[in-house]
Amino acid sequence: MAKNAKSLKVAKALLLASIDGEGRVDEQKIKEILKELKNQPRSKSLPILKNLLSLVRQKIASYEGQVEIASTNIEDISNILSKSLSDTFNYKIDLLASTNNSLLSGFRLRIGDNVYEDSLHQRINRLQKALT
């Protein structure tokens, strides 16, 4: 097995060891893992750390989202979206909400690499494409 494949395999195992009962990355467990890796030679730990960082970022992005809302009533809409998403995905989704004045109405939601948008701008674009 190549060195990078080995370090990726170890990083995946460490990520699994750092997951709490709710399926989230436990900061304390990550600190313990980092402390142990610090005792290893750099040539061995650095590839593992790079892979682990990437995997942790992906995992956190899967349950933390960013929502941009056209309305000033951010908190209520954010709470409704968070509850609806949590029900859909069967795990809690945390949303960081912000106002986006470029949206005329609706919202833009990003969870990990996925972007969901329901805005007036998007609807007008779809209508325009359908008419041409």
Q: Which residues pair with 64 in a beta bridge?
A: 94
Residue 47: predicted pLDDT: 92
C-beta separation of 77 from 118 below 8 A? no
Exposure class string for 6-45: b at 16+ Cβ within 10 A, else e: ebbebbeebbeebeeeeebbeeeebeebeeebeeeeeeeb
Mean pLDDT by 10 residues, the chain (132 residues): 80 93 89 91 91 92 85 78 83 84 81 83 86 85
Q: Which two tokens stand for residue 103?
A: 């949206």
Structural domain containing residue 46:
3-61
Residue 17: predicted pLDDT: 93
Residue 16: predicted pLDDT: 93
Q: What pairing do the DSSP bridges indicate for beta strands 64-69 and 94-99?
A: parallel
Q: Are residues 54 and 78 in the same domain?
A: no
Q: Are residues 32 and 83 in the same domain?
A: no
Q: Are residues 42 and 68 in the same domain?
A: no
Q: Are residues 38 and 74 in the same domain?
A: no
Q: Are residues 50 and 15 in the same domain?
A: yes
Q: Are residues 69 and 57 in the same domain?
A: no
Q: Are residues 126 and 71 in the same domain?
A: yes
Total of domains in the chain? 2
